[in-house]
Every structure is written in structure tokens, then in C-alpha cells.
Amino acid sequence: MDSKEFAIIRKHLAKTQKEMAGVLGISVKAIHSYEQGWRPVPPHVEKQLLFFLARRKTGKSAPCWTVMGCAPHRKSRCPVWEFKAGDMCWFLSGTPCDNMGTLSWQEKMKRCRLCAVLDYERLLSR
């Protein structure tokens, strides 16, 4: 997540920098640093931002195992299936989507942003 994207999401959530710092449990200085591009947005902060954004989503999407057409053997190894979190697959690590294997958070999110389950473009357009 880059600095512009961070600022767009914060504004989309209708939070001031001070409010966002409080919600994320970090300093206002950290928020300034992310938005100015002085510091990269850490994965745990990005994850929280996307969680807040996704929880505001209206309408129910199909669970990821339906969208991805997962076979029973794949579902049995998936933490999303185990915890029945079909709309939060992007949030959980260890998902076997598209044979991703072990990816860093940044690599995983590049793919997840393109997936219909997260529906990232729609989240930002509301």
C-alpha cells in the first residue's frame, strides 16, 4: 500500500489523522509519515485498514470457495473454510487460493486486490 492509497482509505473511512491513529493504536506522527511517504505502511496497519473498509461493505458476496471453485480437498486444508470466513480470505494467512503457496503479505495483497471476493475497487468507490 502506498502513501496515496493510505490517505484515500483514511478519508474514505471519514477519519481525521488523529482519529485514524487512535483506531489503529499508533501515533499521529506515524500517520503523517505514511501519508507523506516517509515510511512504508507496515503490513499489520494495511491489514487493519482493509478490515475496516471491508466491514463497511454493503451486500453479501459469495464465499471465496464458491468464487474460486475450490475442490473439497483444497477446502479441507484452508483456514477460511475451517472458520467459515468466506468473505475474509484476503485477511487470513495460509490460504491456498490459486496455488499461491507461501507469499509475503504484499505479494498476497497484489493478487487479492484483483479478486472478486475482496472487490477492492468497489470498496473504494462507495
- Convert the pLDDT of each residue in 63-94 to its tens digit: 888 988 888 888 888 888 888 888 888 888 77
Look up residue 8 and give its three cell numbers.
Answer: 484515500
Contact 100, 89 (CB under 8 A): no
Residue 79 contacts by C-beta under 8 Å, 6 or more apart in sequence? Answer: 85, 92, 93, 94, 95
The 3-state DSSP class for residue 47 equals helix
pTM: 0.76
Q: Is residue 48 part of a domain?
A: no
Q: Within this chain, do residues 104 and 71 fall inside the same structural domain, yes or no?
A: yes
72 plus 115 within the same structural domain: yes
Same domain, 38 and 61: no
Looking at the structure, do residues 22 and 80 belong to the same domain, yes or no? no
User: What are the cell numbers at 79?
Assistant: 483456514
What is the C-alpha R_g of the chain? 15
Q: Which pLDDT tens digit goes with each residue over 19-68?
A: 999 999 999 999 999 999 999 999 999 999 988 888 876 666 788 889 88
The total of structural domains in the chain comes to: 2
